[in-house]
Amino acid sequence: MESQIIIDFVAKYFYWAFLGWIFMTLIQRRHGSKGVKKRMAVLYQAILIFLIMVYATILKMNDLTDVYLIVAAIIAVLILFFGRKFILPYSTRCRVCGKRMSFERIFYYDDPLCSEHDEEEIEMNEEVKKKIKEIREEENNSDKE
């Protein structure tokens, strides 16, 4: 472990990973209030990636070897373990029926519910359907006149 191969890798590619993670939080914004916790989680992950990158860069500047990265790896694992509720709040199955959820549901929605058991979502969809129906009816009426 007298090399700097991993340090170089981390210093270089974790920067791009960090940018990618930040970009993900922007994509998640379209899920609005249904995915606040999931968005915060990705932000925490981004901060962790950023800190590891900064640490690797400091090691590189001081000509230290890969061995020192083990410290960062251990701390990162500890942070992930104790902060898993906030940093990794993902469950793959629906809380009500236990069915496997879609990728979108796992990563974008705070509540671990499938589309059949997400009452809020069902209500929202009904409203949208009602609105569409209303607009169509109005259109039909104005056509007749």
**Complex with Zn ion: residue 50 or 108, whichever CB lies closer:** 108
Q: DSSP assignment, residue 102?
A: P
Q: Does 67 bind Zn ion (CB under 5 A)?
A: no
Binding piece for Zn ion, criterion CB under 5 A, among 10-18, 49-57, 95-103, 132-140: 95-103
Residue 100: CB minimum distance to Zn ion, A = 10
Q: Is 100 exposed, middle or buried (0-12, 13-18, 19+ CB in 10 A)?
A: exposed
42 lies in the binding site for Zn ion (CB under 5 A): no
132 near Zn ion (CB under 5 A): no
- Rounded Cα distance between 93 and 105, Å, is 10
Smaller CB separation from Zn ion, 100 or 133:
100
Nearest approach in angstroms of CB 86 to Zn ion is 24
Nearer to Zn ion, 8 or 126 (CB): 126
Determine which residue in the list 97, 128, 132, 135 makes contact with Zn ion, applying CB under 5 A.
97
Q: What residues contact 24, with CB distance under 8 A and at least 6 apart?
A: 42
The whole-angstrom separation of Cα 67 and Cα 60 is 12
- Which run of H or of E encompasses 20? helix 5-28
Binding-site size, Zn ion (CB under 5 A): 5
Interface pick for Zn ion out of 10, 41, 42, 94 (rule CB under 5 A): 94
Burial of 111 (0-12, 13-18, 19+ CB in 10 A): middle
Q: Which chain residues interact with Zn ion by CB under 5 A? A: 94, 96-97, 114, 117
